[in-house]
Structure 1
Amino acid sequence: MIIEKIIYYYYECHSRLKRFLYNLHPNISIGKGTTIGPGCVIRCQYGGSISIGINCTISSGAQILTHGGHIRIGNNTSVNPYTIVYGQGNTTIGDNVRIAAQCCIIPSNHIFTDINTPIYLQGLSKKGILIEDDVWLGAGVKVLDGVIIRKGSIIGSNAVVTKSTNQYSVCVGIPAKEIKNRKL
């Protein structure tokens, strides 16, 4: 019991210190009550900004990387272990969202139309990603550029979301397809 309290106190202090230090960066804002696990990377690379709401959980090993874009995470949202959120084309994640372990959110895509030019030299398309409120992404989900995951949707484990969803939809597969609507 005492060891558990010591461990809890250690992680709570560690999380508060990390939140304080991240908030010193002019382009990073992290709300009160948000916990940041060990080994997380929250970084503004090549510009951009990061805003994380109140009472969020960013679990161990998660990475939030702007790559020149903007990332906004709403209140009461959890980003679980080893999930990567990129911001190239801007990523907005709503309130009360659950993102399970090892998900990848990628708001850009390589342009590959010219077969005579190496893909990496052709640039990126950047439409961005919007994940609305009360969404649950299962473990290993990949969300690709240009997608809107609408309110109340559930995306099953290991799905690859290439197109926008309807509100309250349950989607699974590669590519993700709606199999049920929670509202009907």
Structure 2
Amino acid sequence: MNNYSIAQVLYLIYCKLRGFFVFKEARLVRFPIDLRGAKYIKVSKGFTTGVGCRLEAYPMNREQTMFFGENVQMNDYVHITAMKSVIIGSNVLLASKIYISDCSHGSYNGDEFDSNPNIIPNKRTLIAKPVVINDNVWLGEFVSVLPGVVIGKGTIVGANSVVSKSLPPYVIAVGSPAKPIKEFNFETQKWVKIQ
């Protein structure tokens, strides 16, 4: 607490007390926070948010659709939307201004289910595919995670990346679309470039 002013300490105490009534298991929920469908969101011990986060759960079947493992730390202005299932494992670190969603307005896969561009975007059929972010993942600033993605354990995704396809465990991925550029070698205990 040595790095905080008295006003900041009072703000953190306020957030801790108020956050208890939002998510009992949370370590700290910073306000303001935008919660939509809070009863469909499950957080575990040690959950922490930054300011301005937006968590939206619009379940298809009236069951919980957004799950956070233990010790998840979300920084400022993270936006997560769950319609089918978004599962975030334990010890996950989310930098600021991240977008994670399991749904999209329409389908654009080049098949018979494609959405017509003449239909107003918010009137197109919502398509949902589960998202899973496994334990010990770190997502950098401005990362976007799109529907149907699985991010493997221990993976790091670099800032400004768009994860449109699943990533294996223990890699560093960057770009749009995000692609692995390094992997962790457990024999040498070092990150090595992928050839």
Displacement, 1:2?
9.3
1:38 pairs with one of 19, 31, 36? 31
Displacement, 1:121?
2.8
Which residue in the other structure is 1:26 paired with? none
Gaps of 5+ in 1: 23-28
Task: State TM-score, norm by structure 2.
Answer: 0.80
Paired letter, 1:74: G
Deviation sequence 1:105-145 (CA, Å, 0-9, x none): 01112224243544433311111210000000000000000
Task: State TM-score, norm by structure 1.
Answer: 0.85
1:62-81 equivalences under 5 Å are 62-68=53-59, 70-81=65-76
2:48 pairs with one of 57, 70, 73? 57
Displacement, 1:8?
5.2
- Which range moves more in the overlay, 67-76 or 102-111? 67-76
| C-alpha contact 1:30 1:51 (8 A) present in aligned 2 | no
Deviation sequence 1:7-59 (CA, Å, 0-9, x none): 3542343123322322xxxxxx5415x101121122317xx611111112111
> Hey, what's the Cα distance between the residues in 2 that align with 1:173 and 1:2?
38
- The CA RMSD measured in Å over matched residues stands at 2.3
> Hey, what's the Cα distance between the residues in 2 that align with 1:142 and 1:176?
10
> Hey, what's the Cα distance between the residues in 1 that align with 2:185 and 2:147?
26
Which residue in the other structure is 1:110 paired with? 105
Secondary structure of 1:13's counterpart equals: helix
1:19 aligns with 2:29: no
1:1-184 equivalences under 5 Å are 4=4, 6-7=6-7, 9-22=9-22, 29-32=23-26, 34-44=27-37, 49-68=40-59, 70-112=65-107, 113-115=114-116, 117-183=119-185
Gaps of 5+ in 2: 108-113, 187-195
Paired letter, 1:129: V
